[in-house]
Amino acid sequence: MIVHLYDRFCQTLPAPEGSTRLLVAFSGGLDSTLLLVLAAQFAHAHQLVLRALHVHHGLSPHADEWVAHCESVCQQLAVPLLVERVQLARGNGESVEAQARAARYQCLTAHMAAGEWLLTAHHQDDQLETLLLALKRGAGVRGLAGMVPSQPFAAGLLLRPLLDMSRAELAKAAATLPYGWVEDESNQDVSYDRNFLRQQLIPQLKARWPAMARTAARSMALCAEQETLLQEIAEQDWQQIRDGDRAVAGALPIAPLQLLSPARRNNVLRYWLRHQGAVMPSRELLSRLWQEVALAGADANPQLEMQGRVWRRFAGRLYWLEAAPEVGEVVLPLRVGDRLLLPAALGLLSLQRQQHGAELRLPLANEPLSVRFQVAPGTMLKPAGRSGSRRLKKLLQEYGVPPWLRGRLPILYYGEQVAAVVGLFVCAEFLPSGEGVSCCWQATHGDLRVAESADS
């Protein structure tokens, strides 16, 4: 039995190179014990470095016994074992299952070497559980595709070489081994969704339809193919949209989306949000994004909050931004040569003396320098190189500054006079005639890059 499984195990793995290293996620349970045995045989056959990692979550009173068991198995197999102890934050609103999983993958990520393969013991029955949980959430094709045999992870690859094997097959093979395995008593707790499926629902499904796990895996593979196709279409549409629009970092032009069918438009929106690092919104929220933000009246300033960030529209483009308030009435003293940490995570601002290529003249003795984020109502400013003065609000509109940046731009004052709106313009009367100063603003977030926000 173990020989047959080893052949199938080898067929699922890429061709190893001499520098390939293996890391097995080892819980000490039946599945991961069998995985470690197969990995040890593979590593020996190909002269590869193999390690195992066990995460001690501290959730079970038997957790220390599990560590001892894992150490014993690894010693018998001559596999080095890493043990990581983590502490979960109970009562923070996140399920214990989710926290434990996140902690495991954080530990695995921290120990992954460049090009290393991480092997996990997910199998065919796990796929069925994943599918049923995805259906419970109302997931789309991406969620219904389930787990894939191979994917990039940290600095290497995450491989699931047991994914086409049933739990029954693995149990038969594990029973022939001398190592034994640990049983996590929490697996019997059906208050956890996955345990409910594993202990109660799936046995009934498989009793009625014995091939259920295998046929579900087939459906998931088809969903994975469809997801790949949707991704390719989204990439093509995205490229066409970008080719017809001056690149604005993180922004999505609206007009080209209006030419697409609703399904294709939503596909591009999901592609864009995924690349922005967003958790996928529901269909309802995606519809609201389009109707309430993208298609809002031309004179509106629409916004829609999601995941602690906000969707905004400006100059015919959609943006997904960190929600950030205006700074308000603050006066921050500054001297030439200083590096000033700006409030509200706006970054660093420095003012340096320069002999050549300065932006502003040197301040006079009676002109104390300061940084503020507002001007007095009615204040007229004249940017260098422009005829006539304008109010700041009008100037910000003319320079194409999005509404969410107004009130967050550092304004440099000489005494009580505005000398420059940093990153935008210098007032004409403060130009240097020789030696002067230059102002550098290192913004914390890309959302604050004014030059990329303007249409011009």
Binding site listing for ATP: 27-32
Q: Residues annotated as binding site?
A: 27-32
End-to-end CA distance of the chain: 69
d(CA 39, CA 59) in angstroms, rounded, equals: 28
